Structure 1
Amino acid sequence: MTRSRAGTPRWRSTRWVAVAALGAMAALAGAGPASAAEADLSGGTLTWGFKASFRTYVSGGNGSPPIAASNGASINADGTFAFPATGGSYDPTTGTGTARYGGTIVFSYPAHFFTITLANPAVELADGAVQLKADVELVSTAAEPVQVEQATIATLTGSPGQDGATVVGTDLAAVLTAEGASAFNGFYAAGETLDPVSFTFSTGGEEPTVPTVGVSPAAGVEPAGAVITVTGSGFDPEANGAAGIYVSFGPKVDNHWTNASVLQVTKWVSRDNLPTDARDTLNTDGTFQTTLPISALYTDRNGAEVDCTAVQCYVITFAARGSADRSQDTFTPVTFGTPAGGGTDQRITATVRGGPLTLGVAGDSVTLPAVGNGEVASGALNSASVADLRGTNAGWSLVGQVTDFVSAGGDVIAADNLGWVPTAAAETDPLAGVPAVVTPGSAAEPGAGLGSARALCTSAAGASAGSFTCGAQLNLGVPPAAPAGDYTATLTLTLS
């Protein structure tokens, strides 16, 4: 690890922000030694929010996006993160072993001189203790870099339980270790309480369930177009943070889980979905039934023509949202028959020009009710509409900041006296394919409010295409010493 020396008092303050936050996140864990009696692990998920206050701090910054997930990690609706199991081993007789999880989370705040990357967490169990390890890297434009690979960063308090062949740890308290504090040059104190951690993994004590798919009809399908029925069993509705699976149709290609542009049609099937044209439900027992409209000839999103009578096409299932988990992959071949009635085909070509990332607001003024000194005036922020039509699914962030409130007589109420409670919703779009996801920003209390930039709502890369509505309840705390009068301020929303 490269260590940096403390600089001037001003830099030390900035460094504290970056490294203290890094310490909070580093309590995810990495691989450790396995005992000779351990069995291979299969399946499972690690879920953690690192530290809610840190997520709020980074989300209000100028990263593009401030927080991004990749390599199988995903962002949950509540802002926490899910990492899929990638392997490991465990001895159920002694309760010792290591469960490894995959994925990467990147926290970016260029204005505060840092990018933090967290990757490959793991949980190590030995002698009744549970430890967390991780790869953590800090890249800064104002100091030497810090890099930690699979160091023991934190300990967890609580006893994981076992449900059949699955080991479950739920909301285990996480505390930074001395080794973790040392890894961050002592800027973050050992014993600091971090956000709780939950994890699951299968011990392999039971025969693993194999995903199985049936297609009807699977042969002799009308080339001009038909609706086929797809049934599945043996899928894991809780895998990868319950993200579910994609059920698609098209040819086999390399890295099919990130190369969906070659597929003709895709449905998202997950535990929490209700049936629509683009979605369906994955039952709690791992079964599903859905339909796909397919044809033998189509033009993919790369502009290439695909002929499923010349190349073999399949009903393909795989873990949703670009997950590295390949345990949900299946390929069921579909063949086409002779066109009914000897008819002719007509090939249709459409050109997509792409579009902008736009912001619209329902109004330009908000009047809060009159209140007395020491009270809170509340009202609704004019709703903001965000449309991401760029075709890149690159993610976006909508951030707000307010000026001081000033009366006609020059009296001032500080900007931080205005707090808010954000709300956010994604509009349902049957044409979307991959569903859009938006996350409201964290609530800010009067007195610690919008004097600095705070996120109203964000949408992470991979789920940002579509239309969204974001709003908030505004809460202005009036100081006891504020002179009577009408006060005005300007709240600026910035979309990036």
Structure 2
Amino acid sequence: MISTRARALGRRSATWAAVAVLGASTALVGASPAMAAPADITEGSLNWGFKASFRTYVSGGNGNPPIAASNGASINADGTFAFPSTGGSYDAETGETNATYGGTVVFSYPAHMFTITLANPTVAVTGGTAVLKADVELESTAFPPVEVTQATVATLTTSESNLVAGADGITGTDLAATLTEAGASAFNGFYAAGEILDPVSFTAATSGGVDPGVPGVTVTPATGVDPAGATITVAGSGFDPAANNAAGIYVSFGPKVDQHWTNAGVLQVTKWVSSTNEPTAARDRMNPDGSFNTTLPISARYTDGNGNAVDCTVTQCYVITFAARGSADRSQDTFTPVSFAAPAGGGDASQQIAATVLAGGPLTLSVAGSSVTLPAVANGAVTSGALNAATVSDLRGTNAGWSLVGQSGDFTAAGDAVIAGNNLGWAPSASAVDDPLVGATGTVTPGAVAEPGAGLGTARALCTSAAGASAGSFTCGAQLNLGVPASATPGDYTATLTLTLS
């Protein structure tokens, strides 16, 4: 990865953002002149989407609405969330930051028996380590409830290019986010610790309005690129989204030539990046803090728009940024070199293998038996036995998640004797079935224990699998526990326990 800067470092921008998760990271860079004491944060914002696959999963549910933002938080056009600054402090000498943000986001999926509330994120940076804290509340009839205040929910990996500290504040852009153990616990195991979350950005400024930053670009990969063709990632920061009447910039690839801003015919590919663009194959969006993240498809050899052959293994080529629409403003110019891998000796041959995977596979449920006989028991005691194992197979190819719930009717015996269905409880268990064809094995979570007396007269989860990790086959079982009231009439009782997969 290569990072370049357009000119000497000046004041740093700190007026945008996106985050709710931070953690172990490299030392802060670009620290500005020392300040006598921490200053109050007066503005900023934080943007974060938690996890795109989770948003897709919840959005397909029956919440009303499935996802809602309130108390100052809002939903961005791409489905991520924006949280406004509520204050905090920043020390320009040490980089120590405690930036607080307000707002609430609620994920609701009644059919899968949960509501998750995420609120009031805080970004804390101390000694080069950045963490995100947040209030999280889980309400469910299938899982134990969770309520935590300012728990450290995730870590962020930082670098010189994506975390910049200045005299007037600090900015983090597209920070890689990883779920912590505390975060996994707060979300009750929907995802395991170590799960990669959506990237995060944030800003925290200590004065109203700051100068634009110094444009800089990071290209990944920037060396050893496949000469036959590859897609590279271009991350920019410090650009001015308001410059030239907010016309934005062009992000291009090709050799460096005179008056490159008017000689675009020599370039292989160009993408227009501005604050007003909706992302397409030819356009991308610049964030309010002057950062962006986009991709370019490139190859070592091409014919340019003037009909000339260009070979980037012979002529040095660059990712080039410059003000859009032929502007004479050169303050947005950067040149980041890209090199290609040398051709290997010998030769090779290839064959294309094609296969069609049919859409719409099944989500199926099978049970090992149709009846369970519990041992005889006296009044006032509990009798136990094993539920016939249930197997769930998710072959839909969508990883959309599923839930298996159970509910029991009342137990009845001759002479109209009744034992309420709630007297039947269970202790669920669940495991994934080893299947070498699955690829990435999915995960399954057993439901909460239901005690006799507060048991299966209402629907309870036997096992669930969250979106993004539900493909494969899983075995779900339970120990059944029937509590017999002291007033129960002696006799042979039966009830129907129904398992429903959705």
TM-score by length of 1: 0.45
Q: TM-score normalised to the size of structure 2?
A: 0.45
The structure with the largest alpha-carbon Rg is: 2
More helix by share: 1
